[in-house]
């Protein structure tokens, strides 16, 4: 998912540089949303991994 966010970010920057402001802005917006979703999923799995590592005595 992070790879997809980076692809949308690069596409948005290129489109914005070429003058397609609306489309470029939309691609950058999608990239931001995907980036934050990827970070949230990473944190959730990190917490789950740490919880699974602890054994009940």
Per the confidence metrics, is the pTM higher than 0.75? Answer: no
d(CA 23, CA 56): 52
Paired tokens of 20: 């397609």
Paired tokens of 36: 């934050």
Q: What is the pLDDT of residues 11-48, one digit of tens each?
A: 888 887 877 778 888 888 888 888 888 888 888 888 88
Predicted local confidence at residue 38, as pLDDT: 86
Predicted local confidence at residue 57, as pLDDT: 56
Percent helix, strand and coil across the chain, each to the nearest 5: 90, 0, 10
Q: How far apart are the first and last CA of the chain?
A: 37
What are the residue boundaries of the structural domains of the chain, listed by start? 2-52
d(CA 22, CA 15): 9
């Amino acid at each position: 998912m992070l790879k997809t966010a980076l692809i949308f970010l690069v596409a948005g920057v290129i489109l914005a540089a070429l003058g397609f402001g609306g489309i470029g802005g939309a691609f950058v917006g999608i990239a931001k949303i995907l980036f934050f979703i990827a970070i949230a999923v990473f944190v959730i799995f990190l917490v789950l991994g740490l919880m699974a590592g602890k054994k009940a005595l």
